[in-house]
Amino acid sequence: MPQPATPPPPSDAAVPAAGVAAAAAAAAPTERFAARTAGMTASEIRALFAVASRPEVVSLAGGMPNLAALPLESLAAEVGNLVARDGQVALQYGSAQGVPALREQICEVMALEGIRADPDDVVVTVGSQMALDLVTRIYCDPGDVVLAEGPSYVGALGSFAAYQARVVHVAMDEHGLVPELLRDALRSLAAQGITPKLLYTIPNFHNPAGVTLAVERRAEVLEICASYGVAVVEDNPYGLLGFSGRTYPALRSLDRDVVYLGSFSKTFASGLRVGWALVPPAVRDRLVLAAESATLCPPSFTQMLVSRYLAGHDWRSQIKTFTEAYRERRDALLDALETHLPDGCTWNVPDGGFYVWLTVPEGVDTKAMLPRAVTARVAYASGTGFYADGFGTRQLRLSYCYPTPERITEGVRRLAGVLEAELDVMRTFGTPARPALGAGGPQTPSPSTP
Amino acid sequence: MPQPATPPPPSDAAVPAAGVAAAAAAAAPTERFAARTAGMTASEIRALFAVASRPEVVSLAGGMPNLAALPLESLAAEVGNLVARDGQVALQYGSAQGVPALREQICEVMALEGIRADPDDVVVTVGSQMALDLVTRIYCDPGDVVLAEGPSYVGALGSFAAYQARVVHVAMDEHGLVPELLRDALRSLAAQGITPKLLYTIPNFHNPAGVTLAVERRAEVLEICASYGVAVVEDNPYGLLGFSGRTYPALRSLDRDVVYLGSFSKTFASGLRVGWALVPPAVRDRLVLAAESATLCPPSFTQMLVSRYLAGHDWRSQIKTFTEAYRERRDALLDALETHLPDGCTWNVPDGGFYVWLTVPEGVDTKAMLPRAVTARVAYASGTGFYADGFGTRQLRLSYCYPTPERITEGVRRLAGVLEAELDVMRTFGTPARPALGAGGPQTPSPSTP
């Protein structure tokens, strides 16, 4: 027997605390949730996925990479070999920090963007989303402020909300985050006695804005953050997907204190969920502990498959192949936007990555319009989902990564029709069109929306 | 033993140290961590793994399943086929809740323990550790109380600490958790105005205690928790690993409000990290959102591999094969304990699972003894790691899952020698032996320990 069962503690008969227990018992046991669950709401983008994935809908909403070019035959042989030869390791628990050989290879991948790193400072995670979630866990107490570009990645906003952090957006222009506005935001927060914990930034081929932080701004952004004691989190899933083949110096290459997040989801295969964080040693020790608490260890199997892929395949050529497909799709999207969209729409021209950020004419509400767009068999991600503060009603994100060029063109044609109809209503009635039904409240995602 | 009435000791690792905020303000940008990081400490068990994994050491410390019996050749063919035929799906993002076909199969697995469930209420996670971490995230605010058996699973204690929950242990006897002591603990907490959020329990082949909750106690435990409004979290990784082939009715089979955690780590392959939670609908919606924030989605690839394995292999026979190997190892351990250990040691006889919980003679401190054990080339997990409150100094966990029977016997012979030496010192000097160096502080795990 494991433990001698000790005598029960003294009777509490004299203590009248029955009221508390009675009140608690009245609530259903499953409903006594933590305060942080109030911030856990379905993003409008995710809520849309069920609808947008119907085959008749051209989805320009999702961010699924295009895997058509993957060499499945040789990968099949590789993974079979992995199980047959190294199955006893690949199918067994591994270390919380990740497979050592893969961490070395990750350093080689990061070297392409100027990063010199020690594999000891790399922590492999279940996609970079997990790294982001755990970095937030390590840094953010409830009420802490995080700076992020406006708009920003919806998954990051979700993690910040889950830890009850408050997001303050800093605007971008066509060259990315604007240093003067970053400085203004920090000065303004300092005046309120607030030092943000983090600047979360996607410097290359931004999601959703499509822009890249100008090289000459990078050191300045780092200096500003350092002077205010703000840690910089650089999220870089798209950095190797530039259409010119050009890469940019990572923020981490300029400053070893940067927390860098990387991923194989866009350069190899998203379904393996292999990402990583490169962090300063003081962060690493905590990140490994947090990772252990979160999943014990990342899957050995997927890590070893990525490691074998990197060792045995010409992964640089594969990225080039991917990138060419994305450029073709981007071109199709830009051509279609130019040809079909009504006057008053503006958009950026991305040099890499997956996204175009579109601004529609004043008076059109992209979230309100979305149900009509899906009815017209085209889906996009409305802009408000990329802001923590309600901005983005005139914006939407178009993803060109997944559909074929022909489908992209058809999708834009449909979107243009929906926009024309919105503008018609506005011209007729002089007010923005409003739908009878909302586009699905954040608390109630449903496949039947709309 | 239960310590329901006692306030946490000042040294409680889960309570952030005073002055954290002041120290943080002066710290470098990368060191302004959240208060919860104070509770993120390396468990003494994990800290030991690096040492215990040296080949000359017989490790009775880890909980690695024995995968030697896996049919690697046919698995290799299966996984190759998965990539070649369904690679475009298996290598792509999936849903946050998990692959639908696998969720249906999980319901069939759970039916073996009397559970009737809807696949809609299953959430697939990266090992059941992730489910446990996210359930804690959903339920526990800082300072909330969680009840757990004493001793309890070290990974659970880590998650509770990471969310700043306070663990109150309830003792077991040879029939598992003692209902009267559970009631006493709840009454005593109620007297302090405290309603615990959760009872975390491992009813079958407990880790680390090796005991199973008596069937006739199960309804009573559920009733007690219901009457106090405490949600029950049933963690059941070992339920199908009973040596007699017998299964026990899951708590979830008796009460649909139970949060049930399952895993393929012990019945198939730990390195795939595929686990799940079966939860009431109100919890499910929040759990899916939390999972999305944590990793976006679990790996499609590993989920689909498990699904194919369940569909195409005689997984029940495979579990039987695993179990026979574990029974042989348990027998070797029990025989060796009987033959070699000095008088005054007691232990349980597990009917399944991986663990024997050993109590050593009074005066011996298992944590202090560990460095000497590893020097003698045998490793175990000292008892204090399985308690949140410093108990367990006279206990240790022996895992018989991984080493061969011969190695187990040799390991126990070495352990007996170390124990005899401890007792010799005590007989000579009349005091417990103390090492010159500690067994590695919780904050400073190091491969060079001891």
**How close does chain A come to B93, measured CA to CA in Å?**
5
Q: Which CATH architecture fits B44-69+318-429?
A: Alpha-Beta Complex (3.90)
CA gap A18, B70 in Å, rounded: 54
Q: How confident is the model at residue A242 (pLDDT cuts 50, 70, 90)?
A: very high
Q: Is the pLDDT of residue A435 over 50?
A: no
Write out pLDDT tens, residues A244-282.
999 999 999 999 999 999 999 999 999 999 999 999 999
What type of residue sits at position B422?
A: E
Q: Is the pLDDT of residue A354 over 80?
A: yes
Chain B residues touching A446 at Cβ < 8 A: none
Across the interface, whether the CB atoms of A229 and B292 are under 8 A apart is answered: no
A2/B395 CB distance under 8 A: yes
Q: Do A1 and B173 touch (CB under 8 A)?
A: yes
Q: Is there a contact between A248 and A254 (Cβ–Cβ < 8 Å)?
A: no
Given this model, what pLDDT does residue B28 score? 54
Secondary structure of residue A124 in the 3-state scheme: strand
In residues, how long is chain A?
A: 450
The residue of chain A with its CA nearest to that of B192 is: A17
Sheet of A259-263: strand order equals A122-126, A274-278, A259-263, A231-235, A198-201, A145-150, A166-173, A176-177
A44-69+317-429 placed in CATH 3.30.230.10: no
Å between A369 CA and nearest CA of chain B: 25
Contact A40 B286 (CB under 8 A): yes
CB spacing of B191 vs A12 below 8 angstroms: yes
Using the beta-carbon criterion (under 8 Å), do B28 and A90 form an inter-chain contact?
Answer: no
Confidence of residue A432 (pLDDT cuts 50, 70, 90): low
Query: Per residue in A170-207, pLDDT tens?
Result: 999 999 999 999 999 999 999 999 999 999 999 999 99
Would you call A20 and B206 a contact, using CB atoms and an 8 Å cutoff?
no
**A169 Cα to chain B: minimum distance (Å):** 20
User: Nearest residue on chain A to B134, judged by CA atoms?
Assistant: A294
Cross-chain CB nearest to B270 (options A92, A269, A294): A92
Q: Report CB contact under 8 Å: B93, A270.
A: yes
Distance from CA of A310 to the nearest CA of B (A): 16
Looking at residue B432, its pLDDT comes to 55
Q: How far apart are CA B252 and CA B144, in angstroms?
A: 24
Mutate which of B295, B304, B366, B396 to disrupt the A interface (most A C-beta within 10 Å)? B295
For A107-123, write each residue's pLDDT tens digit.
Answer: 999 999 999 999 999 99
Measured between beta carbons, the chain B residues lying within 8 angstroms of A299 are 126, 271-273, 299, 302
Task: List CB contacts (< 8 A) between A38 and chain B.
Answer: none
Q: How many Å apart are CA A353 and CA A176, to the nearest integer?
A: 14
What digits encode the pLDDT tens for the residues A281-316? 999 999 999 999 999 999 999 999 999 999 999 999
Q: Per-residue pLDDT averaged across A29-51, rounded? A: 75
- Chain B residues within an 8 Å CB radius of A442: none
CA distance A340 to chain B (A): 31
Q: How far is B198 from chain A (nearest CA, A)?
A: 9
Alpha carbon distance B197, A29 (integer Å): 8
3-state SS string over chain B? CCCCCCCCCCCCCCCCCCCHHHHHHHCCHHHCCCHHHHHCCCCHHHHHHHHHCCCCCEECCCCCCCCCCCCHHHHHHHHHHHHHHHHHHHCCCCCCCCCHHHHHHHHHHHHCCCCCCCHHHEEEECHHHHHHHHHHHHHCCCCCEEEEEECCCHHHHHHHHHCCCEEEEEEEECCEECHHHHHHHHHHHHHCCCCCCEEEECCCCCCCCCCCCCHHHHHHHHHHHHHHCCEEEEECCCCCCECCCCCCCCHHHHCCCCEEEEECHHHHHHHHCCEEEECCHHHHHHHHHHHHHHHCCCCHHHHHHHHHHHHHCCHHHHHHHHHHHHHHHHHHHHHHHHHHCCCCCEECCCCECCEEEEECCCCCCHHHHHHHHHHCCEECEEHHHHCCCCCCCCEEEEECCCCCHHHHHHHHHHHHHHHHHHHHHHHHHCCCCCCCCCCCCCCCCCCCCC
pLDDT for B288: 96
Percent of chain A with pLDDT over 70: 86
Give the strand pairing for B231-235 and B259-263: parallel
Chain A closest-CA separation from residue B426 CA (Å): 23
Record: contact B87-A67, CB cut-off 8 A: yes
ipTM: 0.89
Q: Which residues contact B231 (CB under 8 A, 6 or more apart)?
A: A29, A30, A32, B139, B197, B198, B199, B225, B257, B259
User: So what CATH class is B72-312?
Assistant: alpha beta
Contact call for B272 and A225, based on CB within 8 A: no
A18: helix, strand or coil: helix
Sequential pLDDT tens for chain B (450 residues): 333 333 333 333 333 333 333 333 444 544 689 999 988 887 666 666 667 778 899 999 988 999 999 999 999 999 999 999 999 999 999 999 999 999 999 999 999 999 999 999 999 999 999 999 999 999 999 999 999 999 999 999 999 999 999 999 999 999 999 999 999 999 999 999 999 999 999 999 999 999 999 999 999 999 999 999 999 999 999 999 999 999 999 999 999 999 999 999 999 999 999 999 999 999 999 999 999 999 999 999 999 999 999 999 999 999 999 999 999 999 999 999 999 999 999 999 999 999 999 999 999 999 999 999 999 999 999 999 999 999 999 999 999 999 999 999 999 999 999 999 999 999 998 765 454 333 333 322 222 222
Q: What is the pLDDT of residue A47?
A: 66
Nearest to B4 among A9, A65, A81 (CB): A9
Same fold, B44-69+318-429 and B72-312: no
Note the pLDDT of residue B16.
34
Beta bridge partners of A357: A397
Residue A96 has pLDDT above 90, yes or no: yes
- Residue A32: the pLDDT is 87
Does B231 contact A140 at a Cβ distance shorter than 8 Å?
Answer: no
Domain boundaries, chain B: 44-69+318-429, 72-312
Q: If you search the block for the tokens 């222009």, which residue do you land on?
A: A173
Encoded tokens for A213: 């932080």
Q: Which residues of B touch A127 (CB under 8 A)?
A: 295-296
Contact B368, B435 (CB under 8 A): yes
Query: How distant is the Cα of A421 from the closest Cα of chain B, in angstroms?
Result: 34
- Residue in B2, B65, B229 closest to A24 by CB: B229
Residues from chain A contacting residue B158 (CB–CB below 8 Å): 289, 292-293
Summarised one tens digit per residue, pLDDT across range B49-59 is: 667 778 899 99
Which residues, in sequence order, are bridge partners of residue B263? B275
Indicate the helix (H) or strand (E) that contains A286: helix A281-295
Q: Do A91 and B30 touch (CB under 8 A)?
A: no
Å between B13 CA and nearest CA of chain A: 14
Cβ <8 Å between B91 and A272: yes
Query: CB distance A296–B155 less than 8 Å?
Result: yes
Residues in A touching B151 (Cβ below 8 Å): 2-3
